[in-house]
Amino acid sequence: MKQKRLWAGLSTLILITGLLLSACQPTTVTVTVEVTKQVPVEVETIIEVTSTPVNYGNLVWLSTQLRPVQEAEKVRGVILADFPGTVEFIPEDEGPFHDRIAAEVQTGQGTVDVLGALHGNFSTMAPAGQLQDLTALRESLADRGIPDAFWNVAQLNTEQTYYVPWMQATYIIAANKAALEYLPSGADPNALTYEQYAQWAKNVFDATGEAKFGFPAGEQGLLHRFFQGFLVPSFSGGVVTTFAGADAAAGWQWLVDMWPYVHPQSTTYNFMQEPLLSEEVWVAWDHTARLKDAFEARPDDFVALPVPAGPKGRAFMPVIAGLAIPVTSNNVAGAEALIRYMTEPNTQINTLREVGFFPVVAVDYPGFVSPGVKLEGEAVTLQAASPDALPALLPQGLGGKGGDFNKVFRDTFTLIVLNGEDIQTVLAGQKPILQAIMDETGAPCWSPDPDSGGQACQVQ
């Protein structure tokens, strides 16, 4: 009997261990795969110097951009197809991306040759001594037609240039054509105001009985960018300095008034293209790359519109992604060649066509760009060129505190809009948290907040 019990106990134990291990799988798998993937690269860095055509050997490209599987496959299969070398494109979340480069620089053992990330990522890496100076490469790219404004930003307030602008994107409105008939009378869909936008949502609700406007308020949704780059600056003309003022409060009040006409499942939406295509939602604000599938799949059913304008202008957030080389790169020649390749007009057009990020170089939109991408491109241009345009840059100089900064806006939203708490009380409660982030990082104000002369930005 004893033995039988022992066996039963043992088998249970083995089962539990097995189950525990398998339960751990989803979190551990990604890590192991990435580590094993890059091992061969260290060993096989071959640069053929003599033979033509040139081959730049093996490169590892780590990127916080183009992470969705489909986009990453486009990079590997289409965009990189003509590059003379073997590139291993590894998409990575921001956290592990920074951890990995920091670890490689700390140990002096590099496996990554090229970095693709947003301006905000690079702005913390350069002061940490993780990025190479690319001034020489910049000079060799003079003929690309990359705007000086972008290059200036890439200098990160120094004399050096730390990254090469790679692609840009922004956020726009996507609307199902079925919603257009409910536009408030006299409203120009290409020059809406926030007031008209809310009225439009109400009209749709009154007519259909459904809340058919959507926001990406899910876990991976970019709703915080709506507050930082659109809502708050449109109403208050700033982001940080005006955070707790009456103008910003008016913006939040607008959202509170609008919210009954916003789809209640918005808190599960990450990419608005999905609810747009399923027609759960008719009108949505999101990143161009996250609306692209809707325009691509049914270009005849959707229109792309510029974002609405508030009392202080049509605030919008341009997103600039860049390419950089870590100091520990083992294949600098290959890395530079890859960056040159990625900024060629042809590659830029390919990037636009395949993943929906817009060129940073001067290109003519050729006829073969799909109707969906063309729709988005026109709205992006219209938005940037509108007379009341107010570009609000991505948060800068926050280092590792970028997440906390976003949290302030997400929490403000949760408390005011979802929990229905008093706007002034919530803003007053979040203000010291925001100020602490600014003081701790010493981040100076960024556009559209007025220049703080290198001092930490102050919440008024």
Q: Does 280 bind another protein (CB under 8 A)?
A: yes
Following DSSP, what letter does each residue of 43-98 receive, concatenated?
H----B-SSSS-B--EEEEEESSS-SHHHHHHIIIIITTT-SSEEEEEE--HHHHH
Which residue number, 30 or 140, has a Cβ lying nearer to another protein?
Answer: 30
What CA–CA distance (Å, rounded) separates 156 from 348?
A: 24
Which residue number, 11 or 135, has a Cβ lying nearer to another protein?
Answer: 11
Q: How far is the CB of 403 from another protein (least distance, A)?
A: 4
CB atoms within 10 A of CB 172: 25
Relative to beta strand 86-91, strand 58-63 is parallel
Q: Does 439 bind another protein (CB under 8 A)?
A: no
Site for another protein in 206-235 (CB under 8 A): 209-210, 217-219, 221
Site map 281..300 versus another protein, x via CB under 8 A: --------------------
Identify which of 411, 272, 351, 445 has the alpha carbon closest to the alpha carbon of residue 71. Answer: 351
Q: Does 185 bind another protein (CB under 8 A)?
A: no
Report the chain's C-alpha Rg in angstroms: 24
Q: Does 270 bind another protein (CB under 8 A)?
A: yes
What CA–CA distance (Å, rounded) separates 358 from 255?
A: 29
Q: Does 1 bind another protein (CB under 8 A)?
A: yes
Q: Give CA separation, 285 vs 16, 50, 187, 405, 438, in Å.
A: 46, 52, 18, 21, 28
Sign of the CA dihedral with 229 first, then 231, 237, and 243 last: negative
Site for another protein in 69-128 (CB under 8 A): 93-95, 98
Site map 386..415 versus another protein, x via CB under 8 A: --------------xxxxx-xx---x--xx
Q: Does 5 bind another protein (CB under 8 A)?
A: yes
Distance separating the N- and C-terminal Cα atoms of the chain: 77
Q: Show the DSSP H helices in 214-331 as ranges.
A: 223-226, 232-236, 246-258, 273-277, 292-297
Q: How far is the CB of 230 from another protein (least distance, A)?
A: 19
Which residue number, 224 or 312, has a Cβ lying nearer to another protein?
Answer: 224
Q: Does 12 bind another protein (CB under 8 A)?
A: yes
Q: Does 3 bind another protein (CB under 8 A)?
A: no
Site of interaction with another protein (CB under 8 A): 1, 4-5, 7-9, 11-12, 15-16, 19-20, 22-23, 25-26, 93-95, 98, 209-210, 217-219, 221, 263-270, 275, 278-280, 400-404, 406-407, 411, 414-415, 418
